[in-house]
Chain A
Amino acid sequence: MIGCSGDVSTAVAGLVLDNPVLAASGCWGTGAESARHLDLASLGAVVTRSITRDPTTRSSSRRILETAAGLLVEGGLPGPGIMTFVRDELPALLALGARPVVSIAAAGLGEFAELGARLCDAPGVVAVEVNLAWGSNDHARWLADLTQARRALAVVRRETPGSRPVLAKLPCDLTSVVEAAAAAVEAGADAVVVAAPSRALRVDQPHVGASPTVVAGALCGPAVRPLVVRAVWEVHAALPNLPVIGVGGIRTGRDALEMLAAGAVAVQVGSASLADPAAAGRILAELTDLLSEQAAPESADLVREGSG
């Protein structure tokens, strides 16, 4: 474990990772693009963009707008659909030496079941991350009613081999992230990923009196990091045995360290990779340095082993 002879390995619900830095969903392409700048095999794991059952064929289906300290991400999940993903993208990712966590998103329970079933026999998948913050036309569809979220997770858990952790990705703009995390565990999730981007709006009005145009999306990036740190802290305090993976606006090793100190067993690096495609590797190196500097006994358990 951490602090002992440079070992930075961690574990998420029985899944042992060489280090606690993961590439977050939707911020590193399909693999080959990022592999030009970053050794994906050096990361603890990589979380794929959210894969849907059917392919997307609409241009400009996803828009990303810059805000003062965050990115407003609007719209769809461009992807090839689960069949093509399993056939083409997954093997290519494994060939790069990456350890893929496959993120899945669906508009209905039947789709989640199909996604789970398609992934069931797919080799090399180290975990499944369920994107509960996405649903057709409503970012919080699955979490508007925790019963629905429970059902979705139960369906995926049922279709997923027992040895393969199911991670529930939750946003932090909920009445209670702790309650959602507890519901996720009840439904069979082995760990939670906190947090999915929060619902946000941009309203453009060309001039006073004009009818405004509204971009409805979700906010990620440094703007949300303190919110995420709070959510990670609260979930860990309430459910100390539940492994929590922190994601949101991490740009430096110190940011990652803060997330671990708040109670996360691992972190994911997302938007930082858009301007710096090597960000996840750099953050891992910075974190490793920080951890070895701080290898005093009291920090020896900064990266905890989640027993969830």
Chain B
Amino acid sequence: MSTPTPNPGTGLPRAVQLTGHVFDVRQVGGYVQLTVVAEAIPELARPGSFVAIAADGAPGSALLPRLMWVRRVRPAGRYGGTFDMAFRVSGPVTAWLAGRGRHDPLRLVGPLGRPFPLPRQPVVTLLAGIGHSTAPLLFLAEQLVERGCEVHLAVAADADAGGEPFGLVEAKRAASSITPLGVGAAYGDTPVARTMQAALERIAAEQRARVIYACGRPAFAQLASAAASAVGARSQVAVEIPMPCGTGACMGCAVAVPDGVDRRLVLACLDGPVFDGAAVCWDELTAAGVASAGSER
């Protein structure tokens, strides 16, 4: 992956604030897929990047932006670069967003977050997602395949966000195998979580996966990390915790990570949302509830 250009003087990966325009709105299964024309974001976004969409034009004048995973980018299209995002209508703001028409403006900040690191060598990978959180994994799968990696996908339906995994039809093009993991409502050490973890361990062992990539709420990300540890693979997990602003401003998404014998706080929106699964203090996180990216608040 090319190193993203830092914003001058900040040392942080470049993120831009701009007005994009809706190019296309499509229904994909139970999801709405929005294609947006925007400068810079399609060039800068990587799998695991997300965008913050100002929602103050929505009914009720939402004060916090809505955060959406970047599903795909087309950097140099005929109409300028575009990116896609996918979400389920789950409240007034996502309904408003789904109702945007072609050419409607969207105020955006992005791309945000630390993306998934890609392996230097072509290796076997297992990608585990739940509900809408398969969106960034499909973006990742396509890039891994381009690099000669073998991609296996394991997907769960999300009992809480009420949904089948996103984009399974498209996933078939990139993935060597797709394994359903059932319906997850996984918080903590539940039978469902143990079954899912066992399934991930089995696939990873059978396919000799070297890296498990996952995206989901802390309980899901944790079980994927645990599966990786169990089979001696590495894990890179995008953790969906509530991120109020997405830009590092509000400090509302603190995540404890080990720091020598001690621990320190980093921000999911800035230092994550992708973390090495072995380097997260999961205990407090798995108690946290609602998903952030791609859902209503």
Contact = CB atoms under 8 A, between A and B. Distances in A.
A71 B64 contact: yes
Contact of B244 (A29, A79, A274): A274
Interface centre among A27, A79, A275 (most CB of B within 10 A): A275
Contacts of A278: 17
Interface string A30-56: 101111110000000000010000011
The A interface is mostly helix, strand or loop, or mixed, namely loop
A32 B12 contact: yes
Interface string B252-265: 11111000001111
Contacts of B241: 59-60
A28 interface: yes
B90 interface: no
A274 B52 CA distance: 10
Given A57-B265, A63-B242, A33 B270 contact: yes
Interface size grouping (class) on chain B: 35 or more
A277 B12 CA distance: 15
B9 A35 contact: yes
B249 A33 contact: yes
A9 interface: no
Contact of A66 (B64, B249, B284): B64
B190 interface: no
B159 interface: no
B159 to A, nearest CB: 16
Interface string B216-255: 0000000000000000000000000110110111111111
B109 A277 contact: yes
B55 interface: yes
A26 B10 contact: no
B251 A62 contact: yes
B297 interface: yes
Interface in B4-41: 7, 9-12, 14-15, 17
A161 to B, nearest CB: 28
B6 to A, nearest CB: 9
B61 A274 contact: no
B284 A274 contact: no
Contacts of B245: 273-275, 277
Contacts of B242: 60, 63-64
A33 B265 contact: no
B12 A33 contact: yes
Contacts of B9: 35, 95-96
A206 to B, nearest CB: 13
Interface string A181-216: 000000000000000000000000000000000000
B163 to A, nearest CB: 20
Interface in B62-116: 62-65, 107, 109
A68 B244 CA distance: 15
B61 A69 contact: yes
A32 B9 CA distance: 8
A222 interface: yes
Contacts of A56: 254, 265
A60 B284 contact: yes
A64 B56 contact: no
Interface residues of A, number: 43
Given A33-B248, A66-B297, A273-B249, A59 B284 contact: yes
Given A32-B11, A36-B7, A59 B250 contact: no
Nearest to B15: A36
B179 to A, nearest CB: 30
A64 B281 contact: no
A276 B62 CA distance: 12
A95 to B, nearest CB: 8
A103 B52 CA distance: 28
Given A71-B63, A274-B63, A27 B250 contact: yes
A78 B284 contact: no
Nearest to A75: B252
The B interface is mostly helix, strand or loop, or mixed, namely loop
Contact of B249 (A34, A61, A65, A79): A34
Interface string A1-43: 0000000000000000000000000111110111111000000
Contacts of A32: 10-12, 248
Contact of B12 (A27, A36, A60, A79): A36
Contacts of B52: 275
B279 interface: no
Interface string A54-91: 01111111111110111101000011100000000000
A131 interface: no
Interface string A102-143: 000000000000000000000000000000000000000000
A296 B288 CA distance: 54
A252 B22 CA distance: 26
A222 B17 CA distance: 22
Interface string A265-279: 000000101111110
25 contacts: A29-B251, A29-B270, A35-B7, A36-B247, A55-B264, A57-B262, A58-B284, A59-B265, A59-B284, A59-B285, A62-B252, A64-B244, A66-B297, A68-B60, A69-B61, A96-B9, A271-B63, A274-B65, A274-B245, A274-B247, A274-B249, A275-B52, A275-B63, A275-B245, A276-B17
Interface of A: 26-30, 32-37, 49, 55-66, 68-71, 73, 78-80, 95-96, 221-222, 271, 273-278
Query: Which 10 A-B pairs have CB atoms at the shortest separation, nearest pair first?
Result: A33-B248, A64-B244, A274-B245, A59-B284, A29-B248, A32-B10, A36-B7, A78-B254, A64-B252, A59-B256
